[in-house]
């Protein structure tokens, strides 16, 4: 273990969101025993502390990928076009709650949720409308969906096939990370084992047929949004990634055939230097653990590439204009940390879906950082800072402590069944909220510098007409499709699910036969069963 900085007995108002005690000043004494050649290296070289590419942003800027989705597929398609016209360089799809839960828009459980927090996608026809007029082989697409991720991915591949686009030319990311659902976000469909089997099927399929696609984006974002500390986000995210790698290797996949396609997704909170250090620690820890556990021959298997999103949970409904400042600082921390792509939240997202003007300002925030701040002139400009290097070391050490506890529990799935990560996050979230309520943590406009309610800013509202239109489209689809062909495709899918076949070909055939998302997920539930989470006390 490296020598840790001496804890500071500081006033509570300087409390950090992490477990790390912060000293009043840092010097070379805080890095005694620290080998810069081993810990740092150079950008593009093991252990990748300073970045996965030698030139970093001098060679290519990060992808500016604004998260977007609301209403119908046509509504979201219009927003995609708006953002692309204003310089966005990648698409990122937000799906509504029914879609995330594998339900059709006309399911009774979907009532009053259709199109509200994302785009409603129930069929291949919806997916075609969503990407109408967008060159799928020229724009990378990220899809934030987990439980029914393989089904939605099958729809995307089918759209490309219908357009005559070879799927080996498609680039993008499928979130497809079910472990963090059990830990934090709670949007699962099946028990862990069949869910992991589905993930491995997408990994194997992409390694053979869609080599430019990232079949998993292992996500710490939602773990942090649920209230975790930076150390917990780092540890649980990377350990989830190692869990998927272990499952894939046990299933017979060679590590170098899929590991280069893995990607990660991190939150960026308010502690500027800690967040910058978190990205650096993540790259180093992933490289070292992958090398130690799996001995890959391809150096790309050791490289952690990631997307980042500014912290939704840090946005305030009070004085929402202040959120522009929060987002700017968080975005800058992600860039200085070396992210490969970035979403900046809009100032009004805590109130409703972002308006066009708000999302344009969020995109312009990235563009100003990229083109006016000059922080892209050199790789890892904070490298060598006593403070940043000390934080990087201690974040890595804290994550390794949690790794050891998870190993002793028999891995992440067993830890989830015992409620360990859920309990850790619950306790951290409670501490944070208590600090806010006691004013030990200042939130500008919330518990300090409070003003009378000011002017209301415009918000984007979704009306009941979205659900009505979706229901009508689904009724028309069911009336016009070949019901025998559709039913046959679901039977073939269930037979494949009951065997050890890769499910992706059967899923693609099912969506092409116009089976809906809800019908496919219901058919799989008959084979895989459902899941009830443990009680966390």
Whether 237 and 377 map to the same domain: the answer is yes
DSSP notation for 397-437: HHHHHHHHHHHHTTSHHHHHHHTHHHHHHHHHHHHHHHHHH
pLDDT at 12 > cutoff 50: no
pLDDT value, residue 11? 33
Q: Is residue 30 part of a domain?
A: no
Q: Is residue 337 part of a domain?
A: yes
Total domains in the chain come to: 2
Q: Is residue 27 part of a domain?
A: no
Q: Is residue 211 part of a domain?
A: yes
Q: Is residue 129 part of a domain?
A: yes
Whether 500 and 379 map to the same domain: the answer is no
pLDDT value, residue 455? 66
Provide the mean pLDDT of the chain. Answer: 94
Residue 14 is encoded by which pair of tokens? Answer: 């300087």
Whether 508 and 390 map to the same domain: the answer is no
Q: Token pair 């986000």 is at which residue?
A: 233
pLDDT at 57 > cutoff 60: yes
CB 205 within 8 A of CB 198: no
Alpha-carbon distance of 415 to 420, in angstroms, equals: 5
pLDDT value, residue 49? 97
Note the residue count of the chain: 537
pLDDT value, residue 531? 93
Q: Is residue 360 part of a domain?
A: yes
- Dihedral sign, Cα of residue 370, residue 330, residue 412, residue 48: positive
pLDDT value, residue 18? 55
pLDDT at 309 > cutoff 70: yes
Alpha-carbon distance of 220 to 242, in angstroms, equals: 13
pLDDT value, residue 19? 64
Q: pTM (2 decimals)?
A: 0.94
At 402-427, the pLDDT tens digits run 999 999 999 999 999 999 999 999 99
What is the residue range of 407's domain?
42-437
Pairing state of beta strands 263-268 and 217-219? parallel
CA distances from 79 to 50, 75, 345, 354, 357 (A): 35, 7, 15, 11, 11
pLDDT at 447 > cutoff 50: yes
- Roughly how many angstroms between the first and final C-alpha of the chain, as a whole number? 33
Q: Is residue 354 part of a domain?
A: yes
Least confident of 9-13, 38-42, 160-164, 509-513: 9-13
pLDDT value, residue 6? 39
User: How crowded is residue 150: how many other Cβ atoms within 10 Å of its Cβ?
Assistant: 24
pLDDT at 245 > cutoff 90: yes
Residues 502-512 as b or e (16 or more Cβ within 10 Å = b)? bbbbbbbbbbb
Whether 403 and 504 map to the same domain: the answer is no
pLDDT at 2 > cutoff 90: no
Whether 251 and 139 map to the same domain: the answer is yes
Whether 336 and 198 map to the same domain: the answer is yes
Whether 141 and 287 map to the same domain: the answer is yes
Q: Is residue 224 part of a domain?
A: yes
- Which comes out higher in pLDDT, residue 256 or 4? 256
Residue 170's closest CA among 138, 143, 147, 196? Answer: 138
CB 428 within 8 A of CB 33: no
Whether 508 and 360 map to the same domain: the answer is no
pLDDT at 383 > cutoff 80: yes
Residue 459's closest CA among 354, 315, 317? Answer: 354
Stretch 187-194: mean pLDDT, rounded? 96
Residue 475 is encoded by which pair of tokens? Answer: 């009724």
pLDDT value, residue 13? 31
Stretch 347-371: mean pLDDT, rounded? 94
CB 320 within 8 A of CB 348: yes
Residue 457: pLDDT band (50, 70, 90) is confident
pLDDT at 100 > cutoff 70: yes
Whether 224 and 368 map to the same domain: the answer is yes
């Amino acid at each position: 273990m490296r020598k840790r900085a001496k804890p500071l007995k500081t006033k509570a108002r300087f409390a950090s969101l992490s477990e790390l005690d912060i000293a009043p000043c840092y010097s070379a004494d805080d890095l005694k025993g620290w080998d810069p050649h081993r810990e740092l290296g150079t950008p593009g070289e093991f252990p990748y502390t300073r970045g996965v590419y030698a030139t970093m942003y001098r060679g290519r800027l990060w992808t500016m990928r604004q998260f977007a989705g609301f209403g119908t597929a046509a509504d979201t398609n219009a927003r995609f076009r708006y953002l692309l016209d204003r310089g966005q360089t990648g698409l990122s799809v937000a799906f509504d709650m029914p879609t995330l839960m594998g339900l059709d828009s006309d399911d009774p459980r979907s009532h009053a949720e259709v199109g509200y927090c994302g785009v409603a996608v129930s069929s291949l026809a919806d997916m075609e409308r969503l990407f109408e007029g967008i060159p799928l082989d020229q724009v990378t697409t990220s899809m934030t969906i987990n439980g029914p991720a393989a089904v939605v991915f099958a729809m995307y591949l089918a759209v490309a096939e219908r357009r005559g686009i070879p799927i080996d030319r498609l680039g993008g990311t499928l979130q497809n990370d079910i472990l963090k659902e059990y830990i934090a976000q709670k949007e699962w469909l099946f028990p862990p084992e069949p869910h992991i089997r589905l993930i491995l099927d997408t990994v194997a399929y992409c390694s053979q047929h869609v080599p430019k696609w990232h079949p998993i984006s292992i996500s710490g974002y939602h773990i942090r949004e649920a209230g975790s500390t930076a150390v917990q986000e780092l540890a649980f995210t990377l350990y989830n990634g190692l869990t998927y790698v272990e499952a894939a290797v046990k299933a017979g996949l060679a590590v170098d055939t899929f590991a280069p396609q893995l990607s990660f997704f991190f939150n960026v909170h308010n502690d500027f230097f800690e967040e910058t250090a978190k990205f650096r620690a993540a790259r180093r820890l992933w490289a070292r653990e992958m090398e130690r556990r799996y001995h890959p021959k391809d150096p790309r298997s050791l490289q952690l590439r990631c997307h980042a999103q500014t912290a939704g949970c840090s946005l305030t409904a009070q004085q929402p204009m202040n959120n522009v400042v929060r987002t700017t600082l968080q975005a800058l921390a992600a860039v200085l940390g070396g992210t490969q792509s970035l979403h900046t939240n809009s100032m009004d997202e805590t109130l409703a879906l972002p308006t066009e003007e708000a999302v344009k300002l969020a995109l312009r925030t990235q563009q100003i950082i990229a083109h006016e701040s000059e922080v892209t002139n050199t790789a890892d400009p904070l490298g060598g800072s006593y403070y940043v290097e000390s934080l990087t070391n201690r974040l890595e050490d804290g994550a390794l402590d949690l790794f050891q506890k998870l190993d002793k529990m028999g891995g992440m799935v067993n830890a989830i069944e015992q409620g360990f990560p859920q309990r850790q996050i619950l306790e951290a979230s409670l501490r944070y909220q208590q600090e806010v309520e006691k004013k030990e943590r200042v939130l500008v406009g919330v518990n300090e510098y409070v003003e009378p309610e000011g002017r209301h800013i415009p918000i984007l509202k979704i009306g009941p007409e979205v659900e009505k239109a979706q229901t009508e489209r689904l009724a028309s689809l069911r009336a016009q499709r070949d019901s025998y062909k559709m039913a046959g495709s679901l039977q073939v899918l269930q037979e494949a699910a009951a065997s050890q076949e890769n499910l992706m070909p059967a899923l693609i055939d099912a969506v092409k036969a116009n089976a809906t998302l809800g019908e496919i997920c219901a058919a799989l539930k008959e084979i895989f069963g459902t899941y009830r989470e443990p009680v966390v006390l």
